[in-house]
Amino acid sequence: MTKLNVNVLKEAGYYGHVISKRMPKDLDNRLYTMIHLIGGFTTRDVMFFLDQSTEEELKELHRLVKLFPSVMQELVPFAGSYKMLIQTEMYQEIMGIIKFNEEQTELTEQHKHRPRFPINVEKLIDKNPNVLNYITEKGIRALFSIWDNMGEANYDAMKLVGVVSDGRDSDDVGFRNVGDALYPILVLEWIGGVENHQFSKAPWKETSEMGFEKLKFKVEPISFDYLFDESADFGEHGYACWDIRVLIDKDGDLFHLPINPEFIDNYGDYKPFIQDLFPESSRNKLSSFRNYTDDQFDLIESLWDEYDQYRDNTMQFCRVEIVLVDESYFV
């Protein structure tokens, strides 16, 4: 077997054919990279394939290989975990074509890294049947195995199990079924629910913005709400958002200079500003953000913005519960 030249791999591509001139150079170079970095088949398997394949089969193999990370710049994000790529549905299909009807080797690597939380894929599909429009049940299992090996959820890894990206990172701000709905659904299932998301574990904060004097608060997710966009078929427009709970110090007040209570009318009836802003009728219930007054919404949005670094799956909220708490909640 030809020894891998790491210096050459660091370049944009190889110089000429490496395995055989009977196939396009691009396919030859990609297969060579896959053999040495990922494995699962050999140059001998490729040569046997070339001896037996039709032109159509060669074109189909080239098409699949180009869809799969098979050049160095595409493989860089998976450095140190190349072997896990063997487990993907697409790589299995590529090996199946190359090896023809040979019985595929059972992959034991898939069971070395167990999911950190029990995952019931059937239950996930029952709750979210529309996910099957974008990924197969087998693809979900393979994706979770890939994430287990990587140690983190990774959006780009979805293409390894046949999910077609819809431009999540483009400048277009329109709703995307894959990036805005499917990906968060799968991430939340993989980590074991909303309660295990970093947003849920974010700390209490304090602000003196909007005239407040060291207002203590915490924003935490209750659930993830979504609807796949079906407007192309005259259905509903899609959305994705967090239902959130906003915990606020019940004694939160605006900054003011010390004043002698004797000069304040009805001082005994005085309430901190936060209690006037959110009377009892607006507390302790999950309600659409549209049901809050402009002043209430402005504060909610300001506090929400303080947690921008923790909510990576979606940047919007839809329903809000306001809870005023005493100092025993602060941790």
What is the rounded distance in angstroms from the CA atom of residue 101 to the CA atom of residue 89?
17
Whole-prediction pTM: 0.64
Which letter does DSSP use for residue 106 in this model?
P
User: Same structural domain for residues 162 and 91?
Assistant: no
Same-domain check for residues 320 and 210: yes
- The candidate with the shortest Cα–Cα distance to 47, out of 60, 35, 65, is 35
- Residue 106 falls inside a structural domain: no
In a domain, 1, yes or no: no
Asked if 69 and 75 touch (Cβ cutoff 8 Å), the reply is yes
Identify whether residues 224 and 317 lie together within a single domain: yes
If one compares 43 and 117, the residue with the highest pLDDT of the two is 43
Q: Which of 135, 166, 192 is the last residue of a domain?
A: 192
Does 25 share its domain with 136?
no
235 and 296 housed in the same domain: yes
28 and 118 belong to one structural domain: no
**Cβ 94 vs Cβ 64: under 8 Å:** yes
Domain with 165 in it: 113-192
What per-residue confidence (pLDDT) applies to 204? Answer: 95
CA distance 169 to 34: 27
Residues 123 and 159 in one domain: yes
Whole-angstrom distance, CA of residue 187 vs CA of residue 155: 9
Same domain, 158 and 226: no
164 vs 159: CA distance, rounded Å: 6
Percent of the chain with pLDDT over 70: 81
pLDDT score for 291: 96
Condensed to tens digits (0 to 9), the pLDDT of residues 144-178 reads: 888 887 788 988 888 888 888 776 655 556 788 99
Both 210 and 320 in one domain: the answer is yes
φ, ψ of residue 330 in degrees (nearest 5)? -75, 125
61 HSE (CA, 13 A, CB side):
23
Select from 170, 192, 214 the last residue of a domain: 192
Confidence of residue 240 (pLDDT cuts 50, 70, 90): very high
In a domain, 200, yes or no: no
Looking at the fold, whether 220 and 274 belong to one and the same domain comes out as yes
Within a domain: residue 236?
yes
pLDDT tens column, 101-151: 444 333 333 644 444 556 788 889 999 999 999 999 888 988 888 888 778
Task: Clarify whether residues 215 and 185 are in a common domain.
Answer: no
